[in-house]
Structure 1
Amino acid sequence: MSEYGPIIESKAELTAYLEGGSKPDRASWRIGSEHEKFVFHRADNAPLAYEGTDGRPGIHDVLKAFVDRGWNGIGEGDHIIAAEKDGASITLEPGGQFELSGAPLETLHETCNETSAHLRDVKAIGETLGIGFLGLGFHPVLKRENVPVMPKGRYNIMRAYMPTKGSLGLDMMLRTCTVQVNLDFADEADMVEKFRLSLALQPLATALFANSPFKEGRPNGMKSYRSHIWTDTDPDRCGMLPFVFEPGMGFERYTDYLLDVPMYFVKRDGKYINAAGQSFRDFMAGKLPALPGEKPTMEDFKDHMTTAFPEVRLKRYLEMRGADAGPWSRLCALPAFWVGLLYDANAQTAAYDLVKGWSVADMEALRVDVPTHGLDATIQGRSLQDLSLDVLKIADSGLKARNMASTCGETEQGFLADLFETARSGKAPADILMDRYNGEWGGDVTRVFADFAY
């Protein structure tokens, strides 16, 4: 026991912690949705600094506005950096992106209601403060050096370390936004199948939700520049995780992966200690250079888990991480896509049958192609647009089988409507943006702030 909690004595404790997320009772499975958005001044589309300047509000004021609406503020040092309410939280990404991490909820109706209530608050606060919120995968106009940096200790460490591992890590931190969903598993075997299936189909989700065709005021030549950024962020902690498809995959194998991911930091007394590039295995042996003689607690391991960034991340649940942020309806569609595939046994089996013949090389090649080609990318000679219709039909069947109706009698299947339209037309959100850019916008990217703000 240290003053910071019980010491981790063995790798088996870490494996047991992950395995403790198993929920054999399907009725206990929940849906946790997350989404990020950029914040900007409506007068000139400029980003918000943390502190307001020249009479203009800052990120601090936005968080305070949520506190005034009943949220509980969370501080770091002298700064409010997050807020919590009813199991949900609002946090800040490094460049001031606002993230809602929703509470674990039972149905898609509940998760979409939560998202809608949050965005109504966002809109009301925005009208009061003269600011807007925008859901895109990559900031459409800002240069990296012009992005205000948030006062969070872990981000200072990451900003210094990122450029040593890849050329686009700082862009990932400062100029991207995503939408995610967190889902449960029954046991180790179910976790492994869900992990393999969701990794294989993550590029398809990227293509369906592709929404980042602009960079610094002009087209960037891609449909999901956000997704491309992850290919040159940090090979030690990103990617498709080929080992997940190997025999012997399980909680222990993923624990080994986490132990091999280089550290960023250790948190002590509310402060972040720089341990960038150091080994968690050394930490467990009491040989961490940043804290000689000290051994980790489970809280240290939980912090370390958040510094791995694969396309699908295992905690005590699975995080789907492949989609760009986007319009209001897409924030409800992303959880519907994955819940339909993974929360009904027959749907999961049908979806797994579609991908089980894909090789790791096939999937890696698809992952590289999708940011540029989107639904036109192919795997084993088949376009993702064609594949997406089959996958969406399976997801629809899974939602139908769940038979979770809203209080108005609506099914969860309706949340897939936008995705079916994308699959049939071949037009992802990025394609719609490019149509506007080449048409009514007359090449003016800044029109996105007025036309697509929440």
Structure 2
Amino acid sequence: MVDWALQLPMIYRVHAGRTTTVPPVAFSQILLNGFDDGSRPDLFDWECHLSQVWPHVRVRKTLETRAFDALPWPMFSAAPAFWAGLAYDDRSLAEALELLSCVTVEHLRDLTSEVPIKGLGATCGGRSVLHLSAELLRLAHRGLLRRVEQNIEPSWVPDLLDPLLDVVTSGVTFAERSLREWGESVSSSPLSFVDAVTIGGARRR
């Protein structure tokens, strides 16, 4: 992670209360040569640089994972609900780690290329992504229920997972639904498609 980030250019810098652009050179070169104004990078510059890169998981003061992009507004809450139930409940977290204990770095690299093409039909170490997704969702739901029992979450929070439950039950992803709507209900019209995925459009469906 560190070596990889060192080879990436820094996009901007916050210094003396101002945000400025940085020449497109590797951060390792900035460590060696400093900035154009003669100043040297410090720990804050490194933290700022790490906030400008976008791996699947960013190591900052917390582990920051990529969330779902470009979904109808009611679906966005499913992402934090999923991670709260999975990662903030000790039992669910332990079972999830056991479930994924055979997943290797190579598997994850393959999935990066395979999932955008095959969706839930992709496989990971001989197991379907649909199966793994359903199991992780089940663990997240149980984790949320336990957090409700402990008065950590309000009673309605587990329901935020319903959009994801619909996906693993139907086997149809949001991307596949969008492709279907593009050719059917929105008649390949960009304006109609945008209207269909707004808050009002989502409620109409």
By the TM > 0.5 criterion, same fold? yes
- 1:413 is displaced (CA, Å) by 1.2
Instruction: Report the equivalent of 1:394.
Output: 139
1:262 to 3, 6, 9: 9
Residue of structure 2 equivalent to 1:310 = 55
Structure 2 regions of 5+ residues with no counterpart?
A: 200-205
| Residue equivalent to 1:385 | 130
Q: How does 1:42-191 map to 2 (within 5 A)?
A: none
The amino acid across from 2:159 in the alignment is G
SS in 2 for 1:416: helix
Matched residue, 2:46: 301
Q: 1:398 to 1:262 in 2, by over 3 A?
A: same
Higher RCO, 1 vs 2 (CA within 8 Å, ≥6 residues apart): 1
Distance in 1 (alpha carbons) for counterparts of 2:180 and 2:10: 43
Q: What is the Cα deviation at residue 405 of structure 1?
A: 4.2
The alignment's TM-score, normalised by the length of structure 2, stands at: 0.84
Q: Residue 387 of structure 1: CA displacement?
A: 1.8
- CA distances 1:21-63 after superposition (whole Å, capped 9, x unpaired): xxxxxxxxxxxxxxxxxxxxxxxxxxxxxxxxxxxxxxxxxxx
The verdict on how the C-alpha distance between 1:414 and 1:275 changes in structure 2, with shifts beyond 3 A counting, is same
Instruction: Name the residue aligned to 2:162.
Output: 417
Cα distance change on mapping 1:268 and 1:397 into 2, 3 Å: same
* 8 Å contact kept, 1:278–1:288: no
Q: Which has more strand, going by share of residues?
A: 1
Inter-partner Cα distance in structure 1 for 2:193 and 2:187: 12
Q: Which residue of 1 aligns with 2:118?
A: 373
1:277 aligns to what? Answer: 25
Give the drift of 1:363.
1.2
TM-score normalised by L of structure 1: 0.40
Q: Which amino acid aligns with 2:117?
A: T
Tell me the amino acid that sits aligned with residue 386 of structure 1. H
Q: How many residues align?
A: 195
Task: Give the conservation status (yes or no) of the 8 Å contact 1:312–1:320.
Answer: yes
Taking the aligned partners of 2:101 and 2:14, their CA distance within structure 1 comes to 41
Residue ranges of structure 1 left out of the alignment (5+ in a row): 1-253
Partner of 1:440, secondary structure, is coil
CA distance in 2, matches of 1:278, 1:291: 17
Secondary structure in 2 matching 1:272:
strand
Cα RMSD (Å) of the superposition? 2.2
> Any idea what SS the aligned residue of 2:187 has?
coil
Instruction: Specify the alignment match of 1:336 in structure 2.
Output: 81
Classify 1:297/1:433 alpha carbon distance in 2 versus 1 (closer, same or farther; 3 Å): same
Can you list the C-alpha shifts for 1:379-432, whole angstroms capped at 9, x where unaligned? 1222211221111111111111212343xxx24211111111110101122222
1:364 aligns with 2:112: no
Aligned-pair identity in percent equals 26
Determine helix, strand or coil for the equivalent of 2:131.
helix
**Aligned 8 A contact 1:278 1:289 in 2:** no
- CA–CA separation in structure 2 for the residues paired with 1:284 and 1:380: 40
